[in-house]
């Protein structure tokens, strides 16, 4: 299950024509409320979405969280998803680069039930982002975004380790080696 109070990626799906919009936020709960309100008022940042709300009605749109990740990773995840779905001609986001898919590749991404990402898709995105070379400008923006942020100290319920931030989530709690 995804946490709406954390940062991550969300998807707005038009169930009538299967088009999607991918977005991200540092606080998904607030952003999803804002997105729904924009849809209701016809003030979404993407004009094509406003047009489809008028054409099909707001009830055909579904907003859901699809991925929790660190705030500085959200833009890259949205970019990968948007570029892939633009290649499949089903995305409201503008592509940052054009991806051409073979018919076999299209089948790989369209046979999955369209309510979310399969584990295979999540793994592909994860592999794409791991080891990605970041430009100096990108590193500077991440550093600037992270400056001044403090994380509360938490204690793993399975071992005596006390720590802060993502490392605790990654190596402790549900993933702790001392978990019974």
- Domain spans, the chain: 8-136, 151-180
Q: In the chain, which ranges are continuous DSSP H helix? A: 28-41, 47-56, 74-87, 103-110, 119-129, 136-146, 165-171
**Statement: residue 93 has pLDDT above 60:** yes
Q: Which helix (H) or strand (E) holds 130?
A: none
Spatial distance between the Cα atoms of 90 and 146, rounded to a whole number of angstroms: 34
Alpha-carbon distance 32 to 124, whole Å?
26
The answer to whether 54 and 42 are in contact (CB under 8 A) is yes
pLDDT bin (cut points 50, 70, 90) of residue 13 is: very high
What pLDDT, on the 0 to 100 scale, is given for residue 103?
Answer: 56
43-83 pLDDT, tens digit per residue, is 888 888 999 999 999 999 999 888 888 877 777 777 777 77
What residues does 91 pair with on adjacent strands? 20
d(CA 137, CA 60): 40
Whole-structure pTM over 0.85, yes or no?
A: no
CA distance 145 to 124: 26
Predicted confidence (pLDDT) at residue 165 exceeds the cutoff of 90: no
DSSP annotation of 163 reads E
With b for 16 or more beta-carbon neighbours within 10 A and e for fewer, the 70-95 pattern comes to bbbbbebbbbbbbbbbbbeebbbbee
Domain 8-136 superfamily per CATH? GIY-YIG endonuclease (3.40.1440.10)
Cβ atoms of 45 and 117 within 8 Å: the answer is: no
- pLDDT in the model for residue 153: 83
Q: 96: pLDDT confidence band, cut at 50, 70 and 90? A: low
Maximal C-alpha separation, the chain: 57
User: Considering only CA atoms, which of 59, 96, 62 is closest in space to residue 77?
Assistant: 96
pLDDT at 113: 45
- Residue 41 pLDDT greater than 70, yes or no: yes
| Tens of pLDDT, residues 100-152 | 555 554 544 444 444 356 677 777 777 777 777 778 887 888 788 778 777 77
State the pLDDT at residue 117. Answer: 62
Q: Contact 22/82 with Cβ under 8 angstroms? A: yes
Q: How far, in Å, CA of 7 to CA of 98, rounded?
A: 27
pLDDT computed for residue 58 by the predictor = 92
């Amino acid at each position: 299950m995804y946490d709406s109070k954390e940062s991550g990626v969300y998807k707005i799906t038009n169930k009538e024509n299967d088009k999607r919009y991918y977005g991200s936020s540092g606080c998904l709960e607030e952003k999803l409320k804002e997105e729904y309100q924009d849809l209701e008022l016809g003030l979404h940042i993407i004009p094509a979405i406003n047009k489809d709300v008028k054409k099909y009605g707001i009830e055909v749109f579904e907003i859901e969280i699809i991925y929790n990740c660190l705030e500085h990773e959200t833009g890259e995840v949205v970019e990968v998803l948007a570029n892939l779905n633009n290649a499949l001609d089903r995305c409201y986001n503008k592509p940052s680069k054009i991806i051409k898919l073979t018919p076999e590749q299209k089948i790989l991404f369209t046979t999955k039930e369209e309510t979310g990402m399969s584990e295979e898709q999540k793994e592909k995105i994860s592999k794409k982002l791991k080891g990605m070379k970041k430009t100096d400008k990108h590193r500077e923006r991440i550093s600037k975004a992270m400056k001044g942020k403090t994380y509360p100290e938490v204690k793993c319920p399975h071992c005596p380790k006390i720590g802060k931030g993502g490392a605790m989530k990654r190596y402790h709690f549900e993933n702790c080696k001392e978990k019974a």
